[in-house]
Amino acid sequence: MARPERKTVRDVRKGNRGMLLRTLYFGGPRSRHELTGLTGLSAATISTMTGDLLTEKILMEAGQVDSDGGRPRVLLRVNPVYAYLIGVDVAETHVRVELFDLEMTEKARVDYTLRPSHHDIELVARRILAGIDVVLADGQVTAAQVLGVGIGVPGIVERGAPDALIHAKTFGWDGVPLGALMRAGTTLPVFIDNGAKTMGQAELWFGAGRGADHAVIVLIGSGVGATVVADGQAVRGTSNSAGEWGHTKIEMNGRPCRCGSRGCLEAYIGAEGLLARAGVPVQTTDWPSALGRVLDDGGPVVDETVTYLGTGLANLINMLNPERILVGGWAGLMIGERHLDQIRVVVGENSLTQPYNATSIVLGELGPDAVAMGAATLVLEEFLDTSAPLRLHAAS
Protein backbone atom coordinates (compact mmCIF):
# COMPACT_ATOMS: atom_id res chain seq x y z
CA MET A 1 0.00 0.00 0.00
CA ALA A 2 2.75 2.41 -0.93
CA ARG A 3 1.06 5.76 -0.87
CA PRO A 4 1.81 7.87 -3.90
CA GLU A 5 2.76 11.42 -3.22
CA ARG A 6 0.83 14.45 -4.25
CA LYS A 7 2.00 15.52 -7.66
CA THR A 8 1.98 18.87 -9.31
CA VAL A 9 2.84 20.02 -12.82
CA ARG A 10 6.42 20.64 -11.86
CA ASP A 11 6.87 17.03 -10.88
CA VAL A 12 6.06 16.15 -14.44
CA ARG A 13 9.03 18.12 -15.61
CA LYS A 14 11.26 16.66 -12.96
CA GLY A 15 10.28 13.14 -13.90
CA ASN A 16 10.65 13.64 -17.62
CA ARG A 17 13.92 15.43 -17.20
CA GLY A 18 15.23 12.58 -15.14
CA MET A 19 14.11 10.09 -17.74
CA LEU A 20 15.81 12.03 -20.49
CA LEU A 21 18.98 12.24 -18.46
CA ARG A 22 18.91 8.51 -17.79
CA THR A 23 18.43 7.56 -21.43
CA LEU A 24 21.29 9.82 -22.37
CA TYR A 25 23.47 8.54 -19.55
CA PHE A 26 22.99 4.87 -20.32
CA GLY A 27 22.04 5.13 -23.98
CA GLY A 28 25.17 6.85 -25.18
CA PRO A 29 25.22 9.99 -27.29
CA ARG A 30 21.96 10.62 -29.10
CA SER A 31 20.48 13.30 -31.28
CA ARG A 32 17.42 15.20 -30.18
CA HIS A 33 15.51 13.45 -32.89
CA GLU A 34 16.37 10.01 -31.57
CA LEU A 35 15.46 11.12 -28.09
CA THR A 36 11.90 11.80 -29.09
CA GLY A 37 11.55 8.14 -29.97
CA LEU A 38 13.44 6.87 -26.94
CA THR A 39 11.63 8.96 -24.38
CA GLY A 40 8.23 9.24 -25.98
CA LEU A 41 8.33 12.98 -25.53
CA SER A 42 7.50 15.39 -28.31
CA ALA A 43 10.19 17.13 -30.30
CA ALA A 44 9.13 20.41 -28.75
CA THR A 45 9.68 19.19 -25.23
CA ILE A 46 12.99 17.58 -26.09
CA SER A 47 14.09 20.83 -27.61
CA THR A 48 13.33 22.99 -24.61
CA MET A 49 14.61 20.46 -22.13
CA THR A 50 17.89 19.81 -23.86
CA GLY A 51 18.22 23.56 -24.20
CA ASP A 52 17.97 23.95 -20.46
CA LEU A 53 20.35 21.09 -19.80
CA LEU A 54 22.88 22.49 -22.26
CA THR A 55 22.92 25.93 -20.72
CA GLU A 56 23.24 24.29 -17.31
CA LYS A 57 26.21 22.41 -18.80
CA ILE A 58 24.79 19.08 -17.67
CA LEU A 59 24.75 18.06 -21.32
CA MET A 60 27.24 18.80 -24.05
CA GLU A 61 27.34 18.35 -27.78
CA ALA A 62 29.21 15.35 -29.10
CA GLY A 63 29.71 15.81 -32.80
CA GLN A 64 27.41 15.34 -35.71
CA VAL A 65 26.13 12.48 -37.79
CA ASP A 66 25.23 12.82 -41.43
CA SER A 67 21.70 11.83 -42.16
CA ASP A 68 21.28 11.03 -45.82
CA GLY A 69 20.06 14.02 -47.63
CA GLY A 70 18.97 16.15 -44.72
CA ARG A 71 20.23 18.32 -41.94
CA PRO A 72 22.80 16.41 -39.92
CA ARG A 73 21.84 15.40 -36.41
CA VAL A 74 23.73 16.87 -33.52
CA LEU A 75 24.65 14.30 -30.89
CA LEU A 76 24.17 15.10 -27.23
CA ARG A 77 25.73 13.44 -24.25
CA VAL A 78 26.02 13.86 -20.52
CA ASN A 79 28.93 16.13 -19.70
CA PRO A 80 31.23 13.92 -17.66
CA VAL A 81 32.97 16.83 -16.00
CA TYR A 82 29.82 18.71 -15.11
CA ALA A 83 30.23 17.34 -11.62
CA TYR A 84 32.02 14.70 -9.61
CA LEU A 85 31.15 11.96 -7.18
CA ILE A 86 32.99 10.58 -4.20
CA GLY A 87 32.71 6.95 -3.16
CA VAL A 88 34.06 5.51 0.07
CA ASP A 89 34.70 1.88 0.96
CA VAL A 90 34.98 1.20 4.67
CA ALA A 91 36.26 -2.34 5.07
CA GLU A 92 37.89 -4.36 7.81
CA THR A 93 41.41 -3.58 6.74
CA HIS A 94 41.18 -0.25 4.99
CA VAL A 95 39.27 2.91 4.24
CA ARG A 96 39.34 3.82 0.57
CA VAL A 97 38.16 7.10 -0.87
CA GLU A 98 37.71 7.50 -4.61
CA LEU A 99 36.81 10.43 -6.81
CA PHE A 100 34.81 9.79 -9.97
CA ASP A 101 33.56 11.99 -12.74
CA LEU A 102 29.95 11.66 -13.79
CA GLU A 103 30.79 8.76 -16.10
CA MET A 104 32.34 6.84 -13.22
CA THR A 105 35.85 7.24 -14.48
CA GLU A 106 38.16 7.21 -11.53
CA LYS A 107 40.00 10.50 -11.11
CA ALA A 108 41.82 9.95 -7.85
CA ARG A 109 41.99 7.51 -5.01
CA VAL A 110 43.52 7.21 -1.59
CA ASP A 111 43.79 4.25 0.77
CA TYR A 112 44.19 4.23 4.52
CA THR A 113 45.12 1.02 6.24
CA LEU A 114 43.14 0.20 9.33
CA ARG A 115 44.90 -1.82 11.98
CA PRO A 116 42.68 -4.62 13.24
CA SER A 117 40.70 -3.50 16.24
CA HIS A 118 41.27 0.11 15.30
CA HIS A 119 37.78 0.64 14.07
CA ASP A 120 37.01 3.53 16.30
CA ILE A 121 34.26 5.43 14.57
CA GLU A 122 35.90 8.80 15.15
CA LEU A 123 39.06 7.56 13.54
CA VAL A 124 37.21 6.19 10.54
CA ALA A 125 35.32 9.44 10.13
CA ARG A 126 38.57 11.43 10.27
CA ARG A 127 40.11 9.17 7.65
CA ILE A 128 37.16 9.65 5.34
CA LEU A 129 37.19 13.42 5.74
CA ALA A 130 40.92 13.56 5.17
CA GLY A 131 40.53 11.29 2.17
CA ILE A 132 37.97 13.60 0.66
CA ASP A 133 40.39 16.49 0.85
CA VAL A 134 43.15 14.39 -0.66
CA VAL A 135 41.22 13.16 -3.67
CA LEU A 136 39.84 16.62 -4.32
CA ALA A 137 43.37 18.01 -4.36
CA ASP A 138 44.73 15.16 -6.47
CA GLY A 139 41.89 15.39 -8.93
CA GLN A 140 42.01 19.19 -9.00
CA VAL A 141 38.35 19.40 -8.21
CA THR A 142 36.70 21.79 -5.78
CA ALA A 143 34.14 20.69 -3.24
CA ALA A 144 31.58 22.81 -5.02
CA GLN A 145 31.86 20.54 -8.04
CA VAL A 146 31.04 17.42 -6.03
CA LEU A 147 27.48 16.17 -5.92
CA GLY A 148 27.92 14.14 -2.79
CA VAL A 149 29.69 11.37 -0.93
CA GLY A 150 28.50 7.77 -0.87
CA ILE A 151 29.85 5.48 1.82
CA GLY A 152 29.71 1.71 1.86
CA VAL A 153 30.11 0.23 5.33
CA PRO A 154 29.91 -3.27 6.79
CA GLY A 155 26.92 -4.38 8.79
CA ILE A 156 23.38 -3.16 8.88
CA VAL A 157 22.58 0.44 8.05
CA GLU A 158 19.34 1.42 9.66
CA ARG A 159 17.96 4.30 7.70
CA GLY A 160 15.75 6.66 9.51
CA ALA A 161 15.26 10.12 10.80
CA PRO A 162 17.17 11.98 11.85
CA ASP A 163 20.13 9.83 11.03
CA ALA A 164 21.24 6.52 9.66
CA LEU A 165 22.57 4.26 12.37
CA ILE A 166 25.14 1.59 11.66
CA HIS A 167 25.27 -1.75 13.40
CA ALA A 168 28.44 -3.70 12.66
CA LYS A 169 29.32 -6.41 15.12
CA THR A 170 32.78 -7.08 13.76
CA PHE A 171 33.65 -3.41 14.16
CA GLY A 172 32.11 -3.08 17.55
CA TRP A 173 29.69 -0.55 16.09
CA ASP A 174 26.26 -0.60 17.62
CA GLY A 175 24.09 2.21 16.45
CA VAL A 176 26.88 4.47 15.32
CA PRO A 177 25.79 7.78 13.70
CA LEU A 178 28.38 8.03 10.94
CA GLY A 179 26.22 10.42 8.96
CA ALA A 180 26.16 12.94 11.77
CA LEU A 181 29.91 12.73 12.16
CA MET A 182 30.38 13.33 8.47
CA ARG A 183 28.10 16.30 8.45
CA ALA A 184 30.16 17.81 11.22
CA GLY A 185 33.17 17.79 8.91
CA THR A 186 31.80 18.46 5.46
CA THR A 187 28.87 20.19 3.83
CA LEU A 188 28.64 17.64 1.06
CA PRO A 189 25.51 15.49 0.99
CA VAL A 190 26.26 12.07 2.45
CA PHE A 191 24.67 8.74 1.52
CA ILE A 192 25.41 5.61 3.51
CA ASP A 193 24.58 2.00 2.80
CA ASN A 194 25.87 -1.47 3.40
CA GLY A 195 28.97 -2.25 1.34
CA ALA A 196 27.54 -5.43 -0.11
CA LYS A 197 24.55 -3.45 -1.28
CA THR A 198 26.61 -0.73 -2.87
CA MET A 199 28.61 -3.38 -4.68
CA GLY A 200 25.38 -4.94 -5.86
CA GLN A 201 24.27 -1.55 -7.06
CA ALA A 202 27.50 -1.16 -9.00
CA GLU A 203 27.07 -4.51 -10.72
CA LEU A 204 23.47 -3.69 -11.48
CA TRP A 205 24.26 -0.33 -13.06
CA PHE A 206 27.66 -0.83 -14.62
CA GLY A 207 28.49 -4.52 -14.43
CA ALA A 208 26.87 -7.79 -15.40
CA GLY A 209 23.48 -6.65 -14.20
CA ARG A 210 22.96 -3.85 -16.70
CA GLY A 211 19.38 -3.64 -17.82
CA ALA A 212 17.99 -6.31 -15.53
CA ASP A 213 14.72 -5.47 -13.85
CA HIS A 214 14.60 -8.51 -11.63
CA ALA A 215 17.93 -9.69 -10.38
CA VAL A 216 19.71 -11.09 -7.37
CA ILE A 217 23.32 -10.17 -6.84
CA VAL A 218 25.01 -12.63 -4.56
CA LEU A 219 28.21 -11.68 -2.79
CA ILE A 220 30.45 -14.33 -1.38
CA GLY A 221 33.51 -13.27 0.55
CA SER A 222 34.30 -14.45 4.00
CA GLY A 223 30.69 -13.55 4.66
CA VAL A 224 27.74 -13.99 2.36
CA GLY A 225 25.12 -11.45 1.37
CA ALA A 226 22.77 -10.59 -1.44
CA THR A 227 21.09 -7.67 -3.11
CA VAL A 228 17.59 -8.30 -4.36
CA VAL A 229 16.32 -6.18 -7.21
CA ALA A 230 12.62 -6.24 -8.04
CA ASP A 231 11.14 -4.04 -10.73
CA GLY A 232 14.43 -2.25 -11.06
CA GLN A 233 14.51 -1.23 -7.41
CA ALA A 234 16.66 -2.70 -4.67
CA VAL A 235 14.51 -4.38 -2.04
CA ARG A 236 15.51 -2.85 1.27
CA GLY A 237 12.92 -4.16 3.64
CA THR A 238 11.37 -2.30 6.49
CA SER A 239 14.60 -1.41 8.27
CA ASN A 240 16.98 -1.63 5.33
CA SER A 241 18.43 -4.95 6.34
CA ALA A 242 17.05 -7.15 3.60
CA GLY A 243 19.54 -9.36 1.80
CA GLU A 244 21.03 -11.32 4.68
CA TRP A 245 21.28 -14.39 2.57
CA GLY A 246 24.24 -15.87 4.37
CA HIS A 247 22.28 -16.90 7.40
CA THR A 248 19.64 -18.74 5.51
CA LYS A 249 19.36 -22.18 7.10
CA ILE A 250 19.93 -24.79 4.47
CA GLU A 251 20.60 -27.76 6.72
CA MET A 252 18.56 -28.26 9.83
CA ASN A 253 21.29 -29.42 12.15
CA GLY A 254 24.25 -28.41 10.12
CA ARG A 255 27.61 -26.86 10.79
CA PRO A 256 27.83 -24.20 13.46
CA CYS A 257 28.03 -20.70 12.01
CA ARG A 258 29.81 -17.74 13.49
CA CYS A 259 26.41 -16.11 13.96
CA GLY A 260 25.77 -18.62 16.73
CA SER A 261 23.22 -20.64 14.83
CA ARG A 262 23.68 -23.82 12.79
CA GLY A 263 23.32 -24.84 9.18
CA CYS A 264 23.67 -21.38 7.72
CA LEU A 265 24.62 -21.17 4.06
CA GLU A 266 27.55 -19.00 5.03
CA ALA A 267 29.04 -21.83 7.06
CA TYR A 268 29.34 -23.83 3.85
CA ILE A 269 30.03 -21.43 1.02
CA GLY A 270 31.54 -18.44 2.80
CA ALA A 271 35.32 -18.39 2.44
CA GLU A 272 35.86 -18.88 6.14
CA GLY A 273 33.55 -21.86 6.38
CA LEU A 274 34.82 -23.33 3.16
CA LEU A 275 38.44 -23.20 4.23
CA ALA A 276 37.58 -24.63 7.62
CA ARG A 277 35.75 -27.51 6.00
CA ALA A 278 38.77 -28.16 3.79
CA GLY A 279 40.98 -28.35 6.85
CA VAL A 280 42.99 -25.22 6.11
CA PRO A 281 44.62 -23.98 9.35
CA VAL A 282 42.80 -21.03 10.83
CA GLN A 283 45.91 -18.94 11.16
CA THR A 284 46.38 -18.83 7.39
CA THR A 285 46.46 -15.21 6.35
CA ASP A 286 46.37 -15.35 2.58
CA TRP A 287 42.84 -16.60 2.18
CA PRO A 288 42.51 -16.10 -1.56
CA SER A 289 45.47 -18.28 -2.49
CA ALA A 290 44.49 -20.87 0.10
CA LEU A 291 41.02 -20.94 -1.40
CA GLY A 292 42.50 -21.21 -4.87
CA ARG A 293 44.47 -24.28 -3.85
CA VAL A 294 41.44 -25.92 -2.27
CA LEU A 295 39.31 -25.27 -5.32
CA ASP A 296 41.94 -26.46 -7.74
CA ASP A 297 42.58 -29.66 -5.80
CA GLY A 298 38.93 -30.55 -6.03
CA GLY A 299 37.57 -33.31 -3.87
CA PRO A 300 34.38 -33.75 -1.88
CA VAL A 301 34.58 -30.40 -0.13
CA VAL A 302 34.46 -28.61 -3.45
CA ASP A 303 31.61 -30.77 -4.72
CA GLU A 304 29.74 -30.07 -1.53
CA THR A 305 30.32 -26.36 -1.91
CA VAL A 306 28.94 -26.44 -5.43
CA THR A 307 25.92 -28.33 -4.18
CA TYR A 308 25.23 -25.92 -1.35
CA LEU A 309 25.73 -22.86 -3.49
CA GLY A 310 23.60 -24.25 -6.31
CA THR A 311 20.85 -25.18 -3.90
CA GLY A 312 20.93 -21.79 -2.28
CA LEU A 313 20.64 -20.11 -5.66
CA ALA A 314 17.81 -22.45 -6.61
CA ASN A 315 15.92 -21.33 -3.52
CA LEU A 316 16.34 -17.73 -4.59
CA ILE A 317 15.09 -18.53 -8.08
CA ASN A 318 12.00 -20.27 -6.79
CA MET A 319 11.21 -17.52 -4.36
CA LEU A 320 12.01 -14.45 -6.40
CA ASN A 321 11.94 -15.48 -10.06
CA PRO A 322 14.75 -13.18 -11.17
CA GLU A 323 15.79 -12.83 -14.78
CA ARG A 324 19.43 -12.81 -13.83
CA ILE A 325 21.59 -13.98 -10.96
CA LEU A 326 25.03 -12.49 -10.51
CA VAL A 327 27.64 -14.28 -8.48
CA GLY A 328 30.22 -11.92 -7.09
CA GLY A 329 32.52 -11.28 -4.18
CA TRP A 330 36.12 -12.45 -4.26
CA ALA A 331 35.31 -15.97 -3.13
CA GLY A 332 32.21 -16.16 -5.27
CA LEU A 333 34.22 -15.22 -8.33
CA MET A 334 36.88 -17.83 -7.56
CA ILE A 335 34.29 -20.55 -7.16
CA GLY A 336 32.29 -19.38 -10.14
CA GLU A 337 35.23 -19.17 -12.51
CA ARG A 338 36.00 -22.80 -11.91
CA HIS A 339 32.63 -24.38 -11.42
CA LEU A 340 29.87 -22.24 -12.88
CA ASP A 341 28.64 -24.98 -15.19
CA GLN A 342 28.30 -27.47 -12.36
CA ILE A 343 26.55 -24.86 -10.29
CA ARG A 344 24.07 -24.33 -13.09
CA VAL A 345 23.36 -28.05 -13.15
CA VAL A 346 22.68 -28.14 -9.42
CA VAL A 347 20.44 -25.11 -9.70
CA GLY A 348 18.49 -26.80 -12.47
CA GLU A 349 17.96 -29.89 -10.35
CA ASN A 350 16.69 -27.91 -7.40
CA SER A 351 14.49 -25.25 -8.89
CA LEU A 352 11.20 -25.34 -10.72
CA THR A 353 11.45 -25.55 -14.47
CA GLN A 354 9.56 -22.43 -15.34
CA PRO A 355 11.48 -19.94 -13.20
CA TYR A 356 14.74 -21.77 -13.88
CA ASN A 357 14.35 -21.27 -17.60
CA ALA A 358 13.70 -17.60 -17.07
CA THR A 359 17.00 -17.06 -15.29
CA SER A 360 20.56 -16.75 -16.42
CA ILE A 361 23.35 -17.22 -13.92
CA VAL A 362 26.47 -15.20 -14.60
CA LEU A 363 29.55 -13.97 -12.83
CA GLY A 364 29.98 -10.44 -11.60
CA GLU A 365 32.17 -8.24 -13.75
CA LEU A 366 33.47 -5.67 -11.38
CA GLY A 367 35.33 -7.45 -8.64
CA PRO A 368 35.71 -6.41 -5.04
CA ASP A 369 36.89 -2.92 -5.86
CA ALA A 370 33.38 -1.96 -6.77
CA VAL A 371 32.25 -1.10 -3.26
CA ALA A 372 33.37 2.52 -3.54
CA MET A 373 32.01 2.82 -7.06
CA GLY A 374 28.67 1.48 -5.90
CA ALA A 375 28.68 3.94 -3.05
CA ALA A 376 29.23 6.76 -5.51
CA THR A 377 26.32 5.34 -7.46
CA LEU A 378 24.05 6.27 -4.57
CA VAL A 379 24.91 9.87 -5.31
CA LEU A 380 24.53 9.38 -9.03
CA GLU A 381 21.10 7.88 -8.58
CA GLU A 382 19.98 10.90 -6.66
CA PHE A 383 21.37 13.16 -9.35
CA LEU A 384 19.71 11.33 -12.22
CA ASP A 385 16.39 11.31 -10.42
CA THR A 386 16.33 14.94 -9.46
CA SER A 387 19.06 16.37 -11.71
CA ALA A 388 19.37 18.87 -8.94
CA PRO A 389 21.44 21.78 -10.13
CA LEU A 390 24.71 22.64 -8.47
CA ARG A 391 24.05 23.60 -5.56
CA LEU A 392 22.97 24.60 -2.17
CA HIS A 393 25.44 22.86 0.04
CA ALA A 394 28.50 24.65 -1.31
CA ALA A 395 28.20 27.23 1.43
CA SER A 396 30.92 26.35 3.92
Partner DNA sequence: ACATGTTAGTTCAATGCGTGAACGAAACGG
Partner DNA sequence: CCGTTTCGTTCACGCATTGAACTAACATGT
Interacting residues with DNA between 27 and 66 (CB under 7 A): 31-33, 40-51, 64, 66
Contact 67, 73 (CB under 8 A): yes
Q: Indicate whether 227 belongs to the interface with its own copies (CB under 8 A).
A: no
With CB under 5 to 8 Å by kind, the binding choice for 69 among its own copies, DNA, none is DNA
Q: What is the DSSP letter of 245?
A: G
Contact flag: residue 342 with its own copies (CB under 8 A): no
Task: Name the one range near its own copies by CB under 8 A: 61-69, 100-108, 184-192, 204-212.
Answer: 204-212
- 245 binds, options its own copies, DNA, none, Cβ within 5 to 8 A by partner type: its own copies
| Phi and psi torsions of 2, nearest 5° | -65, 115
Quick check: 355 binds its own copies (CB under 8 A)?
Answer: yes
Q: How many Cβ atoms from other residues are within 10 Å of residue 308's Cβ? A: 20
What is the smallest separation between the CB atom of 63 and DNA, expressed in angstroms? Answer: 11
Beta-bridged to residue 127, according to DSSP, are none
Identify residues 239-278 at the interface with its own copies (CB under 8 A): 239-245, 247-252, 254, 259, 261
Choose which of 184, 231, 300, 396 interacts with its own copies (CB under 8 A).
Answer: 231
Each residue 140-159 as x (binds its own copies by CB under 8 A) or -, in order, gives: ----------------x-x-
Q: How far apart are CA 59 and CA 56, in angstroms?
A: 8
Give least dist CB 295 to DNA, A.
53
# residues near its own copies by CB under 8 A = 75
Q: Given candidates 4, 69, 279, 300, which one binds DNA under the rule CB under 7 A?
A: 69
> Which residues are bridge partners to 148 per DSSP?
85
Residues in 165-204 that interact with DNA by CB under 7 A = none
Among 5, 68, 122, 231, which residue interacts with DNA (rule: CB under 7 A)? 68
- Report d(CA 52, CA 58) in Å as an integer: 9
Going through 15-79 in order, the beta strands assigned E by DSSP cover: 30-31, 59-67, 70-78
The bridge status of strand 215-220 relative to strand 324-328 is parallel
161 binds, among its own copies, DNA, none (CB under 5 to 8 A by kind): none
Task: Give the DSSP H/E element, type plus range, for residue 315.
Answer: helix 300-320
Q: Does 134 bind DNA (CB under 7 A)?
A: no
CA 97/CA 130 separation, integer angstroms? 9
Distance CA 327, CA 245 (A): 13
**Alpha-carbon torsion (375, 381, 386, 389), positive or negative:** positive
Closer CB to DNA, 68 or 231, in the complex: 68
CA–CA separation, 216 and 227 (whole Å): 6
**Residue pair 365/70 in contact by the 8 Å Cβ criterion:** no
- Per-residue binding letters, 78-117, with DNA (x by CB under 7 A): ----------------------------------------
Q: How far is the CB of 11 from DNA (least distance, A)?
A: 8
Q: Whose Cβ is closer to its own copies: residue 242's or residue 390's? A: 242
| Residue 395 interacts with, from DNA, its own copies, none (CB under 5-8 Å by kind) | none
254-274 as b/e, with b when 16 or more CB fall inside 10 Å? Answer: beebbeeeebbbbbbbbbbbb
DSSP symbol at 365? S
Least spacing, CB of residue 348 vs its own copies, in Å: 11
Burial 161-196 (b: 16+ CB within 10 A, else e): eebbbbbbeebebeebbbbebbeeebebbbbbbbbb
What does 77 interact with, of DNA, its own copies, none (CB < 5 to 8 A by kind)? Answer: none
For residue 7, state whether it binds DNA (rule: CB under 7 A): yes
Nearer to its own copies, 76 or 204 (CB): 204
Per-residue x/- track, 9-28, DNA (CB under 7 A): xx-xx--xx-----------
Binding mask 41-80 for its own copies (x = CB under 8 A): x---------------------------------------
3-state secondary structure of 136: helix
Q: Which residues form the interface with DNA (CB under 7 A)?
A: 6-10, 12-13, 16-17, 31-33, 40-51, 64, 66-74
